[in-house]
Amino acid sequence: TTVVADTGDIDAIRRFEPTDATTNPSLILQAAQLEGRRERLAEIARQAADIDDALDAVAVEIGSEISSLVPGYVSTEVSARLSFDTDATLARARSLIERYGRHGVGAERILIKVAATWEGIRAAQQLEREGIHTNLTLLFGFAQAQACADAGVTLVSPFVGRILDWHKAQAPDADFSGDNDPGVRSVKRIYEHYKGHGYDTIVMGASFRNAGEILALAGCDRLTISPALLGELADTSGPLARRLSSQDAETRAPEPLHEAD
Ligand code: E4P
């Protein structure tokens, strides 16, 4: 399992040394307010033409710095406001890649995060044809995953915690621990389907709410994890760290779902 940091916090990236990093507009906003960077990033935002321009400029500024610290991909998101507009998503994604180019960061280092709506998937299919790699996000179910794989996207981010949040709201007293976690089950199903059918699309579990969900998905291609949960992973005495860092977890698939699933 490749460990990915789900943050725009440069200090956390230095501390945890992940292979990749993922950001989204709220993580960028949080990172931009951190001590030491606030003034410079506020100045960049002030020079922008409008709010979208400001968000992209700051996201690329932070993303470029992250790309100098991690060996793998940096994910930068197209505003979710554009999720149902293929052309607007395409324009925004191309402009993000151009901005990265101006910072000396090549397209091969960047994953453009696009919402896995029908329109977003169509945009991602076109971007991949142009050599722009995509990370299809806000993925809550199998049908989205199938459409993303058919479109040939580089990576999907199925959301574990948001699925759990929804189920918890419906059934507050139910036991959703371990393999009863519907978010975990959703990712396993997607993973098994992709591997069983030879899809190249990378599966990266995202939106984790607790360490147990991460442990249950050890062996998945990639997992993007918040600094708080990475802190638990960094405790090398803990079982979670052992499971994810073991030789075995590098190569194996997550424990499969039972047949009845
Ligand atoms: C990662 O790609 C996502 O942006 C992130 O994991 C979402 O997590 P959340 O559900 O806690 O917002």
Average pLDDT of the chain is: 93
pLDDT(137) > 90: yes
Handedness of CA 216, 24, 199, 69 (dihedral sign): negative
Mean pLDDT across 178-186? 92
Pairing outcome for strands 134-139 and 222-225: unpaired
Domain limits of the chain? 2-251
What pLDDT does residue 179 have?
A: 80
**Residues pairing with 257 in the sheet:** none
What pLDDT does residue 80 have?
A: 85
Tokens found for residue 224: 């993007």
Mean pLDDT across 224-249? 78
What is the phi/psi pair of residue 256, to 5°?
A: -70, 160
Residues with CB under 6 A from ligand 1: 6, 22, 24, 137, 157, 159, 161-162, 206-207, 224
Distance 24 CA to ligand 1 centre (A): 8
**Residues pairing with 224 in the sheet:** 4
DSSP 116-169: -SHHHHHHHHHHHHTT--EEEEEE-SHHHHHHHHHTT-SEEEEBHHHHHHHHHH
From 165-179, 208-222, 229-243, the region with the lowest mean pLDDT:
229-243
Q: Kindly report the protein residue whose alpha carbon is nearest to atom 7 of ligand 1.
A: 207
What pLDDT does residue 192 have?
A: 97
Q: Closest by alpha carbon to 249, among 226, 230, 221, 225?
A: 221
- Ligand 1 atom with the shortest distance to the CA of 23: 4
- CATH class of domain segment(s) 2-251: alpha beta
What pLDDT does residue 233 have?
A: 82
Angle at 236 between CA 16 and CA 230, to 5 degrees: 35
Tokens found for residue 14: 């230095």
Q: How far apart are CA 124 and CA 257, in angstroms?
A: 29
What pLDDT does residue 252 have?
A: 74
**Residues pairing with 4 in the sheet:** 20, 224
Q: Pick 139 or 80 by higher pLDDT.
A: 139
Tokens found for residue 247: 């030789």
Q: Closest by alpha carbon to 39, among 66, 56, 58?
A: 58
**For the chain, percent of residues with pLDDT exceeding 70:** 93
Per-residue model confidence as pLDDT tens digits over 183-220: 999 999 999 999 999 999 999 999 999 999 999 999 99
What pLDDT does residue 86 have?
A: 98
Residue 237 binned pLDDT confidence (cut-offs 50, 70, 90): low
Where in the sequence numbering do the catalytic residues fall? 113
Output Rg (C-alpha) for the chain, integer angstroms.
18
Distance 205 CA to ligand 1 centre (A): 10
Mean pLDDT across 23-41? 93
Mean pLDDT across 221-246? 82
Tokens found for residue 56: 């992209």
Distance 108 CA to ligand 1 centre (A): 23
Q: Hey, which of 135, 207, 214 would you mutate to test ligand 1's pocket, going by the most ligand atoms within 8 Å of its Cβ?
A: 207
Mean pLDDT across 86-110? 98
**For the chain, percent of residues with pLDDT exceeding 90:** 83
What pLDDT does residue 258 have?
A: 65
- Ligand 1 atom with the shortest distance to the CA of 209: 11
Q: Kindly report the protein residue whose alpha carbon is nearest to atom 9 of ligand 1.
A: 207
What pLDDT does residue 236 have?
A: 64
Residue 13 burial (CB < 10 Å; 0-12/13-18/19+)? buried
Distance 159 CA to ligand 1 centre (A): 7
For the chain, the first-to-last Cα distance in angstroms comes to 24
User: What global pTM score does this model have?
Assistant: 0.94
Q: Which residues of 107-141 are buried (b: 16+ CB within 10 A; e: fewer)?
A: bebbbbbbbbbebbbbbbbbbbeeebbbbbbbbbe
Q: What size, in residues, is the chain?
A: 261
Residue 174 burial (CB < 10 Å; 0-12/13-18/19+)? exposed
Would you call 79 helix, strand, or coil by DSSP? coil
pLDDT(175) > 60: yes
